[in-house]
A and B are shown apart, each in its own frame.
Chain A
Amino acid sequence: ILNVEQSPQSLHVQEGDSTNFTCSFPSSNFYALHWYRWETAKSPEALFVMTLNGDEKKKGRISATLNTKEGYSYLYIKGSQPEDSATYLCAPGRQLTFGSGTQLTVLP
């Protein structure tokens, strides 16, 4: 089972702030890296699937980068809004083994 670490565990930001968090994973035998957004009482929603070193993907105010050689990915949220409040999970590998997530709370 892959050792996936996400940091920070939780984050509180003010509306309008930009923020970022990290997903660290073993760099050997890299397959792919998934980012998911999980709101309370809902099922996880896919944000990005990243496969190539140096990949950078963007969806609205959210973007992600990938470094497969050193084994990390960053997720950025620009101009956070209260509706961005959720747990953000990364999952590398074929198994989609999730990290413990970063719980983001955006305060109005």
Chain B
Amino acid sequence: AAGVIQSPRHLIKEKRETATLKCYPIPRHDTVYWYQQGPGQDPQFLISFYEKMQSDKGSIPDRFSAQQFSDYHSELNMSSLELGDSALYFCASSLGLGQGVDTEAFFGQGTRLTVV
């Protein structure tokens, strides 16, 4: 069965550079979540989208932006990268968040970003 695909799996960037992480949800899933997990830390919710619109916003820095496209894939854009942005970034997808139906979310394998 198709799962959530994240690309790239690993990314190394220098300080002040820009990075774009991509997430391809499970087919027919209309909701995407982004999480950041720093070394030794809990996963932190960043932002979520339902039907291409932002639905909830968490602890996402102003230097980051995200969007969900017409094919439901999502991209997390990170600018002016800092050393502290080094983390594992997870994306998850689910179905029907906006309809008040809460179904389980399926996670991708994550993108490990290292800022040097």
Interface size class, chain A: 20 to 34
Instruction: Please give, as numbers and ranges, the residues of chain B lying within 8 Å of A1 by CB-CB distance.
Output: 45, 58-59
A106 close to B (CB within 8 Å): no
Q: Which of A84-99 contact B (CB under 8 A)?
A: 89, 94-99
Q: Which of B17-75 contact A (CB under 8 A)?
A: 33, 35, 42-43, 45, 48, 55-56, 58-59
CB atoms of B106 and A46 under 8 A apart: yes
Known: A1-B59, A43-B109, A44-B107. A95 touches B45 (CB 8 A): yes
A21 to B7, CA, bound (A): 35
In the complex, besides A96-B105, A97-B45, 16 extra interface pairs with C-beta distance below 8 angstroms are A34-B104, A34-B105, A43-B108, A43-B110, A44-B43, A45-B107, A46-B105, A48-B104, A49-B102, A49-B104, A51-B102, A94-B55, A94-B56, A98-B35, A98-B42, A98-B45
Q: Of the candidates A31, A32, A43, A101, which one forms a contact with B42 in the assembled complex, judged by CB atoms under 8 Å apart?
A: A101
Known: A43-B110, A46-B105, A101-B42. A96 touches B92 (CB 8 A): yes
* Binary contact track A33-67/B, C-beta < 8 Å → 1, others 0: 01000000011111011010000000000000000
A99 contacts across to B, CB distance below 8 A: 42
* Given contacts A97-B45, A98-B43, A31 and B102 within 8 Å (CB-CB): yes
